[in-house]
C-alpha cells in the first residue's frame, strides 16, 4: 500500500472521531525503555534510551471504542552510528502519536486490554562527540504510523498499565540538509509501565 495513503487513512480516522457524547477519559504517566533502528544515507543507526510518556485514552459514550494520544520524551541517547559507539554530550528524542483506540475487558471490567493505532511523528536531536575533534550536531524528524498496546488493571479511579509502544516511520526530514531523506526507514520500540487515573 502506498505510504502516503497509509498516512492519509490514519489522519481521516483521527479526524473522524466523534466529539459528541460522554467520554470516559484516562491519563497515565509511564516510564519506558526505548530502542530504535534507523537506516538513512545508506547507513544504520541504533539508539537506546530511557524516557517518560504522557498517555491518554478516551472512550466514547463510556464504551469500548475511542481515541488515544501519546507524548513521550527520551533522554539521554546512547547512539551507535557507523559501527562506532557514541555517547553524545546531549541527545533527546520526542514522539507524538494520535489515533483511534479500543479496549477489551478480560474476565472483568477491572482488567482490560487497551490498544490504539494512528499517526506517529518523532524528532531527534543530538550533539557533541566525545571522541575525536569532529563536532556531532544533528537534528531530524520522522513521520509514519505507530501504536500502543497495554494491559490495564483498574483500582477504583486509578490504574496500573504495562505494555509496549512502537512506531514505524517512512518519511524523514533532515533539518541540517534542509531536505527529505529518500531512503529513510525507522522503527522504534518502547516497553513501559505506568500509573493512570480517570479524569
Asked whether the predicted pLDDT for residue 199 surpasses 60, the reply is: yes
CATH code for position 69: 2.40.160.20
Q: CA 102, 103, 105: angle at the middle one, nearest 5?
A: 160
Q: pLDDT of 135-159, one tens digit each?
A: 556 788 999 999 999 999 999 999 9
The answer to which of 19-33, 167-181, 184-198 has the lowest mean pLDDT is: 19-33
135 three-class SS: coil
> What element of type H or E holds 153?
strand 137-155
Whether residue 123 contacts residue 72, with contact meaning beta carbons closer than 8 Å, is answered with no
Handedness of CA 100, 147, 55, 90 (dihedral sign): negative
Asked whether the predicted pLDDT for residue 77 surpasses 70, the reply is: no
CB burial of residue 179 (10 Å; 0-12, 13-18, 19+) = exposed
**Which residues span the domain enclosing 155?**
3-198
In this prediction, what percent of the chain has a pLDDT beyond 70?
77
Total structural domains in the chain? 1
Amino acid at each position: 500500500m502506498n505510504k502516503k495513503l497509509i498516512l492519509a487513512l490514519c489522519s481521516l480516522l483521527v479526524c473522524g472521531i466523534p466529539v459528541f457524547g460522554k467520554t470516559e477519559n484516562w491519563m497515565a504517566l509511564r516510564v519506558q525503555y526505548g530502542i530504535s533502528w534507523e537506516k538513512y544515507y545508506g547507513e544504520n543507526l541504533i539508539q537506546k534510551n530511557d524516557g517518560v510518556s504522557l498517555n491518554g485514552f478516551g472512550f466514547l459514550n463510556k464504551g469500548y471504542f475511542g481515541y488515544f494520544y501519546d507524548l513521550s520524551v527520551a533522554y539521554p541517547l546512547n547512539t551507535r552510528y557507523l559501527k562506532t559507539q557514541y555517547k553524545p554530550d546531549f541527545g533527546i528524542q520526542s514522539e507524538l502519536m494520535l489515533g483511534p483506540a479500543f479496549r477489551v475487558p478480560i474476565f472483568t471490567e477491572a482488567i482490560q486490554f487497551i490498544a490504539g493505532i494512528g499517526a506517529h511523528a518523532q524528532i531527534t536531536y543530538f550533539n557533541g562527540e566525545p571522541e575525536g575533534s569532529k563536532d556531532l550536531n544533528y537534528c531530524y524528524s520522522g513521520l509514519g504510523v505507530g501504536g500502543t498496546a497495554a494491559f490495564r488493571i483498574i483500582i477504583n479511579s486509578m490504574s496500573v498499565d504495562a505494555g509496549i509502544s512502537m512506531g514505524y516511520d517512512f518519511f524523514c526530514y533532515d533539518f541540517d540538509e534542509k531536505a527529505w531523506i529518500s531512503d529513510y526507514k525507522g522503527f522504534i520500540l518502547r516497553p513501559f509501565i505506568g500509573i493512570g487515573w480517570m479524569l
